[in-house]
Amino acid sequence: MDIGTVISTPDGPSVSGFSFVINDEGPLAKQGQFITLKTPEGTMVARISDIFKSNRYFQRAESVREYEKSGKRMAEIFPVERWEYLIGRAKPLAVFSEKLMQRPCFPPSPGDAVKLADGEMLSKFIGLDPKGIDIGRINFHETPVRLNLTKLLQKHLAILSISGGGKSYLTSVIIEELLERKPGDGQVATVIVDTHGEYIGFAEDEKYRNKVSVITGKDFKIGVTGLSPTLISHFVPDMTHVQERELRRILNRARNEMKGRTYDLTDIIRMVAEDEKVKSSTKDILITILRHLRQTGFFGVSDNPSLESLARQGHATIIDVSDVTSLRKRQMLVSYLGKKLFDARTENRIPPFVFIVEEAHNFAPEGVKREAALSKGIIEKIAREGRKFNASLCLISQRPIQLSTTALSQCNTHTILRVTNPYDLDHIGKSSEGLTRDVLDTVSSLRVGEALIVGEAVNYPIFVKVRERKSRKSERGIPLEEAAVRYHKERAKKSQDAKSFM
């Protein structure tokens, strides 16, 4: 479809930019659209960076003023409307010849026809994959955005926006896609740390429920049987060398002496109490430490979920931690999960996985010591080393500034929904490669459900309209208004019931 014609301007057409007059018949060109032109080098792809209007009658301030001094408006004296034109500014991005994509070396010529880029060309240019993860459509184009699984996840994904920007919605869309993949297309295991119980709707949805399991914080257990001493000392970073040594010895004793039997923290506490070698002062402290750990309610005889059920191809395990109110306990849980997944993956005991962490800034906070945020170390470790083992992270955050720079900068694809805070925008600009100022500025005007994708998954940053979700929304995390209306209705019904009973 022809949407305009390249014109000659004082500074163009050049390799870095050109203008074109926009056809006003048919659908108008829009800022942000991708366009193509035929050039001797091949097909040029460009992006419309700006659109403005021009009118010769209004070019000179003095003539406008002088004519209008007569008391009449310009439009009453001249046929000004006929001389108003829409002009688009565009930036050449690439040239395709045969199968090769190159940087443009020659400008288009004045008079060249400007066409709206078609789906095939856009897919090629952006590097989309017909078998990829379908997250929606390119803004102003009908082209489906199917992102290659490897490019999207292998080098980790970050999903950022203000609260209410649509992060969890987009994440649900991605989870749907992961669950719908066929074994032959490559299925990963998905593990989600669900801080608000927003994803449990999957388990109630008949389309997905046989591929999803939910574990609540209450049911989550760290198995003490065979637990490595290193893990326990990780949960208690301030143990002294002696305390750690003694605990290590007793845990090893438990492993040896109770071979074939299961045991929990209470058994370990008893062993410490009965141990004759450990000094009494150390003993008291160790018992206190272990009792504290026991109080978390996280320790049991064996792991729940077990490793086998936690990470299954084509399956998602949702860890609903909304019932765990203490941040430290949540961090313990994430830290244990992360370690368990990562270690098992490095030994190829579980399939490639993606570990989705909501509110990632709480689990890997910037500027906080590792000991103070138990899960920070493992998230950064997976971020740095995960790609070698196909252990992927998807970090979700409404506070990018507070999210570990180490972790964020290792996320090679950023999906940015609406962000309004200028500090956050700046931070994102610095941590996402290939983001120009004009693209970044658009981020603050995005509407809910619109996203900018930049990085590994796409050859060029694109704005996307996130597709509608197919899965059932969780009853929890409903908007304030809806919750208030529902509460009112329930109360009204209750009082009605009470009246009719009397």
Ligand X SMILES: Nc1ncnc2c1ncn2[C@@H]1O[C@H](COP(=O)(O)OP(=O)(O)O)[C@@H](O)[C@H]1O
Sign of CA dihedral 283, 284, 289, 290: positive
Count of CA atoms in the C-beta half-sphere (13 A) of 149: 21
Q: Which is nearer to ligand X, 169 or 208 (CB)?
A: 169
Q: What's the start-to-end Cα distance of the chain, in Å?
A: 72
What is the chain's alpha carbon radius of gyration, rounded to the nearest angstrom?
Answer: 30
Tell me how far, at minimum, the Cβ of 477 lies from ligand X, in Å. 6
**Taking CB within 5 to 8 Å according to partner kind, which of Mg ion, ligand X, none is near residue 165?**
ligand X
Tokens linked to 329:
């306990």
**Taking CB within 5 to 8 Å according to partner kind, which of Mg ion, ligand X, none is near residue 188?**
none
List of residues contacting ligand X (CB under 6 A): 161, 163-169, 448-449, 466, 479
8 Å CB contact between 35 and 117: yes
**Taking CB within 5 to 8 Å according to partner kind, which of ligand X, Mg ion, none is near residue 108?**
none
C-alpha 340/C-alpha 334 separation (Å) is 10
8 Å CB contact between 360 and 376: no
Q: What angle (nearest 5°) sits at the alpha carbon of residue 219, between those of residues 216 and 223? A: 130
Q: Which is nearer to ligand X, 161 or 410 (CB)?
A: 161
8 Å CB contact between 408 and 158: yes
Q: Which is nearer to ligand X, 291 or 470 (CB)?
A: 470
CB-count exposure of residue 10 (10 Å: 0-12, 13-18, 19+)? exposed
Tell me how far, at minimum, the Cβ of 328 lies from ligand X, in Å. 24
Tell me how far, at minimum, the Cβ of 167 lies from ligand X, in Å. 3
List of residues contacting Mg ion (CB under 5 A): 167-168
**Taking CB within 5 to 8 Å according to partner kind, which of ligand X, Mg ion, none is near residue 10?**
none
Tell me how far, at minimum, the Cβ of 196 lies from ligand X, in Å. 9
Tell me how far, at minimum, the Cβ of 110 lies from Mg ion, in Å. 50
Tell me how far, at minimum, the Cβ of 467 lies from ligand X, in Å. 7
Q: Which is nearer to ligand X, 390 or 402 (CB)?
A: 402
- DSSP code for 120: H
**Pick from 332, 387, 314, 354: which is nearest to 191 by CA?**
354
Q: Which is nearer to ligand X, 175 or 247 (CB)?
A: 175
C-alpha 502/C-alpha 500 separation (Å) is 5
**Pick from 53, 54, 10, 13: which is nearest to 35 by CA?**
13
Q: Which is nearer to ligand X, 450 or 456 (CB)?
A: 450
Q: Which is nearer to Mg ion, 21 or 448 (CB)?
A: 448
**Taking CB within 5 to 8 Å according to partner kind, which of Mg ion, ligand X, none is near residue 3?**
none
Tell me how far, at minimum, the Cβ of 473 lies from Mg ion, in Å. 12
Tell me how far, at minimum, the Cβ of 297 lies from Mg ion, in Å. 26
Pairing of strands 133-138, 462-466: antiparallel
**Taking CB within 5 to 8 Å according to partner kind, which of Mg ion, ligand X, none is near residue 243?**
none
User: Distances from the Cα of 367 to the Cαs of 241, 484, 499, in angstroms?
Assistant: 26, 38, 58
Q: Which is nearer to Mg ion, 134 or 358 (CB)?
A: 358
**Taking CB within 5 to 8 Å according to partner kind, which of ligand X, Mg ion, none is near residue 161?**
ligand X
Tell me how far, at minimum, the Cβ of 42 lies from Mg ion, in Å. 44
Sign of CA dihedral 185, 157, 330, 337: positive
**Pick from 10, 8, 38, 40: which is nearest to 21 by CA?**
8
Q: Which is nearer to Mg ion, 397 or 404 (CB)?
A: 397
Within the chain, how many helices (H) and strands (E) appear?
Answer: 18, 20
Look-up of token digits 């990632």: 360
